[in-house]
Amino acid sequence: MQTVDMIVREVHMGLWFLVVGYYFFLFIFLLFFRWRNSRNPFQLAMALFFLLLAVGRVFYFIGDFFADPKSMPTNPPGLTPFLNPSSLEGVLGQWLGIGGFFEWMALAVLSATAGFMIFGKRWAEIGFMIPAAGFAVALAVLPYSLVSYYAGLAGVLYALFLPALFWYLSWQSGGLLRISNFLLGLGFLVLFTGRVLHAGRFILDTLGIITYSVSGVLAPGLIVIGLILIATGNEWGQSQ
């Protein structure tokens, strides 16, 4: 017989399956149905961005639901398939570190793309990419507990910085391209809000702001909404 915690866990897992599936769908669509026809570098960059997010989320999925003893608020013996040892220095940290590498590489690709779109120079592309790529390498090679706090703070900054770049492009452009960049910025803001909410779900629950059960539904829901906005913005202007 399933407990309430097990049902909540399965709902959360199902929603993250949806997110990963949407990531892969956007990767395939942009690569084979947009970039292959237009050869637009933006389409290739976005396809790579979603592929890296998808791969990273797979590792996070395993870490969140099979290596994290907090994935069920109450842990009935024998009912939760944890991987042991489940600590930030053990199996959990390894899964989250590898997942973080791919997720931050996705941010590096997006940052480089936005930098090139604004300045049109190779130095801007490289300069915008380096900070995110540095966090990616740090998460891959250093103990997760040493990097996770700083990566979390940087993630909040990126959640504001990257949408602002696209809104700046929207302000500088006109017509459908202005609407496109505005929707892209809004989509990334909603997507990153969902990611930040997921990362801080246990802290928010402890503080009594948002319960674990609610954030587990709200975070992937926001990400899906953000992906819809991004896909819409991409179709409105960037594929022209």
Contact by Cβ (8 Å): 204, 210:
yes
Q: What is the pLDDT of residue 204?
A: 83
In this model, does residue 74 exceed pLDDT 60? no
Give the containing element (helix H, strand E) for 129: helix 122-141
- Mean residue pLDDT of the chain comes to 85
| Domain spans of the chain, in order of start | 4-238
Q: DSSP string of 150-191?
A: HHHHHHHHHHHHHHHHHHHHHHH--HHHHHHHHHHHHHHHHH
Q: What is the pLDDT of residue 26?
A: 95
Q: What is the pLDDT of residue 79?
A: 44
Pick among 1.20.1070, 3.40.30, 1.20.1080, 1.10.3470: CATH of 4-238? 1.20.1070
Encode pLDDT of 26-39 as tens digits: 999 999 988 988 88
Kindly state the average pLDDT of the residues 137-164: 91
Q: What is the pLDDT of residue 210?
A: 85
Kindly state the average pLDDT of the residues 10-16: 85
Contact by Cβ (8 Å): 62, 114:
no
Q: What is the pLDDT of residue 1?
A: 44
CA distance 27 to 9: 27
- Predicted TM-score (pTM) of this structure: 0.88
CA distance 127 to 108: 10
Kindly state the average pLDDT of the residues 137-163: 91
CA distance 27 to 21: 10
Band of the pLDDT at 4, cuts 50, 70, 90?
low
Of 155 and 88, more confident: 155
Residues 115, 116, 118, 120, Cα dihedral to 10°:
140
Encode pLDDT of 81-96 as tens digits: 445 544 555 677 788 8
CA distance 110 to 116: 10
